Structure 1
Amino acid sequence: MEVAVVIFVIAIIFIAMSVKIVPQQHAWVKERLGRYAGTLAPGPRFIIPFVDKVAYKHSLKEIPLDVPSQVCITRDNTQLQVDGILYFQVTDPMRASYGSSNYIMAVTQLAQTSLRSVIGKLELDKTFEERGMINAQIVAAIDEAALNWGVKVLRYEIKDLTPPAEILRSMQAQITAEREKRALIAASEGRRQEQINIATGEREAFIARSEGEKQAAINKAQGEAASITAVADATAQALERIAIAIRQPGGEQAVQLKVAEQAVDAYGRLASDANTTLVVPSNMTEVSSLITSAMRMIQTGKGSV
């Protein structure tokens, strides 16, 4: 009875040592008599007790690794306090077990040395502008070396770049000067635009006034021309009618009568003015003939009545 109990206990212990439950996203490295004998995938797995053993256990999840802060020197000999974070993943459990004694320390040290190398090629101003380039170069440098360690470097991010206090004050003064410069430039551009607008307005107003004066002069000239044309047309019509009237019977005598009346009236006005010196024409026969013709026509008119 006691032997059976001992055998049963030994069997239970043997089965417990033989069955291994590997969690999801994990990989266990099995060794048989000190040599690599395979990788146990997630789920229940069997090994030979006292012959096989689980030598290494690896997580296949993405692992964030905090890279310790360090001092880097830029190309222009400026010290920078830089710290970052590295994300990697075990892709080959066998190499992660036998490729390096401590792949986490190896990745950390390589990240620090790569960061110092990349920062040393850049000037201070570029280190703040080229963070993406710095991260990409560090990932490329680490990933190439980490292939032998069974590790895949996914990305590297710089958390903080801290220059010395003197550099910070100088940078702040430079930023303030740049802002003041931009403000002065903006103000001068505003004044320049204002002067341009005023000059443009004055030029357009002068052009508008000159155009108005030009149009007014054209209108005035056209009005005067139309007036002269109207007077000329009226005079031509009057002369045409006079010519027609003269060709009628008695027309010539009527014209002579009108001229005689105007002549007599004109001499009468001149004679009535005391301050006027009257000059008598040398050829008085023409005037007298006009008056005679006029009197004859008047008498003819009375006789006909």
Structure 2
Amino acid sequence: MFGFTLIILLLLFILWKLMLVVPMREVNVIERLGKFRAVLQPGFHILIPFFDRVAYRHDTREEVLDVPPQSCISKDNIQIEVDGLVYIKVIDGHKASYGIEDYRLASINLAQTTMRSEIGKLSLSQTFSEREALNESIVREIDIASDPWGIKVLRYEIKNITPSRHVIHTLEKQMEAERSKRAEITTARAHKEAMINLSEGERQYAINISEGEKQKRINEALGTAKEIEIIADAKAQGMNLVSAAIAKPGGDDAMQMQLQEEFIDQMGEVLQNTEVSVVPNDLARIQGMFEGINQVGDSLKGGKA
């Protein structure tokens, strides 16, 4: 009974060594008597017990490796610490097994040295502003160097770029000065725009005042001209009426009578309001005027008689 059980166990052990199931996410490297035989893809495979063995198992999924922080010197001689992440994938199981001892450690070290080399080509400000270009450059260099290892470098991402405390303090002062400069520039521009707007307002105000004065003078001139025109028309009409009345019978005598009355009225006002004795120069005419008045009086008396 013990021998039968032993035989069953031996058969099971042989079957276990005979059959191999490779998971979907792996490739297995098989050696026969210590020599490479094949790279088995995912699925069921038959091995020769005690001759074939699985020497290496490689995960074919994308792997992410953490690159530890390291000190780098930028182009402008500033010391910074940089860390990152490198993403790799096994493409050839044979090269990954026999091309290098540990492709993960090699990828990390290669990423560090390449990162130091690339950062040395850039200034501190460029390392922040050109991070994407820096990542692409590091991926390109690592991918070329890691091709004999049977792996593919998919991408590299810089996590942190940390300058020294002295540099950070200097950068803070620089940023503060830059902010102050921008604030002063903004204030100066606002003051300039305010002055421009104020001068434009004053200019427009002066233009409006001058336009108003101009229109006022035009209106006054038009009004004066209209007034003169109306007065002239009235005087012309009056003169026409007077001339028409004079042309009628007895018009000349009536006009002479009217002129004499107005002269007497005006002369009386002058003699009443003035403190100086006024003697007309044309005494002959005054004498003739009084003679005419006497004749008018005599004629009126004769009529009554």
**TM-score interval, smaller chain:** 0.7 to 0.9
- Cα offsets for 1:45-92 (capped at 9, x unmatched): 222222322121111111110112211111122221211111111122
1:241 aligned to 2:241? Answer: yes
User: In structure 1, what is the equivalent of residue 192 of structure 2?
Assistant: 192
- CA distance in 2 between counterparts of 1:140 and 1:248 reads 127
1:149 is displaced (CA, Å) by: 1.4
**What pairs with 1:15-54 in structure 2 (closer than 5 Å)?**
15-54=15-54
Paired residue type of 1:200: E
1:162 is displaced (CA, Å) by: 1.9
User: In structure 2, what is the equivalent of residue 278 of structure 1?
Assistant: 279
- CA distance in 2 between counterparts of 1:49 and 1:172 reads 69
User: In structure 1, what is the equivalent of residue 119 of structure 2?
Assistant: 119
- CA distance in 1 between counterparts of 2:249 and 2:111 reads 134
Compute the TM-score of the two structures, normalised by the length of structure 1: 0.86
User: In structure 2, what is the equivalent of residue 75 of structure 1?
Assistant: 75
- CA distance in 1 between counterparts of 2:291 and 2:235 reads 25
Task: Give the match's secondary structure for 2:225.
Answer: helix
Does structure 2 conserve the Cα–Cα contact (< 8 Å) formed by 1:271 and 1:278? no
- Cα offsets for 1:227-260 (capped at 9, x unmatched): 1111112112212222233333333333233223
- CA distance in 2 between counterparts of 1:290 and 1:168 reads 126
1:119 is displaced (CA, Å) by: 0.9
1:141 aligned to 2:144? Answer: no
- CA distance in 2 between counterparts of 1:94 and 1:230 reads 121
User: In structure 2, what is the equivalent of residue 231 of structure 1?
Assistant: 231
User: In structure 2, what is the equivalent of residue 61 of structure 1?
Assistant: 61
- CA distance in 2 between counterparts of 1:232 and 1:290 reads 38
- CA distance in 2 between counterparts of 1:132 and 1:125 reads 13
- Cα offsets for 1:148-187 (capped at 9, x unmatched): 2111111111122222222121111111111222222222
Structure 1 pair 117–250 and aligned structure 2 pair: CA distance change class (3 A): same
1:115 is displaced (CA, Å) by: 0.6
Does structure 2 conserve the Cα–Cα contact (< 8 Å) formed by 1:30 and 1:38? yes
Gaps of at least 5 residues in structure 1 are: none
Structure 1 pair 173–268 and aligned structure 2 pair: CA distance change class (3 A): closer
- CA distance in 1 between counterparts of 2:242 and 2:7 reads 165
Task: Give the match's secondary structure for 1:50.
Answer: coil
**What pairs with 1:144-159 in structure 2 (closer than 5 Å)?**
144-159=144-159
1:32 is displaced (CA, Å) by: 3.1
- CA distance in 2 between counterparts of 1:202 and 1:115 reads 63
- CA distance in 2 between counterparts of 1:98 and 1:291 reads 161
- CA distance in 1 between counterparts of 2:153 and 2:196 reads 60
Alignment length (residue pairs): 299
Compute the TM-score of the two structures, normalised by the length of structure 2: 0.86
Aligned-pair identity in percent equals 39
Greater alpha carbon shift after TM alignment, 8-17 vs 225-234? 8-17
Task: Give the match's secondary structure for 1:100.
Answer: coil
Does structure 2 conserve the Cα–Cα contact (< 8 Å) formed by 1:260 and 1:290? no
- CA distance in 2 between counterparts of 1:98 and 1:196 reads 78
1:280 is displaced (CA, Å) by: 4.2
User: In structure 1, what is the equivalent of residue 106 of structure 2?
Assistant: 106
Structure 1 pair 286–20 and aligned structure 2 pair: CA distance change class (3 A): farther
> How much is the aligned-residue C-alpha RMSD, in angstroms?
2.9
Gaps of at least 5 residues in structure 2 are: none
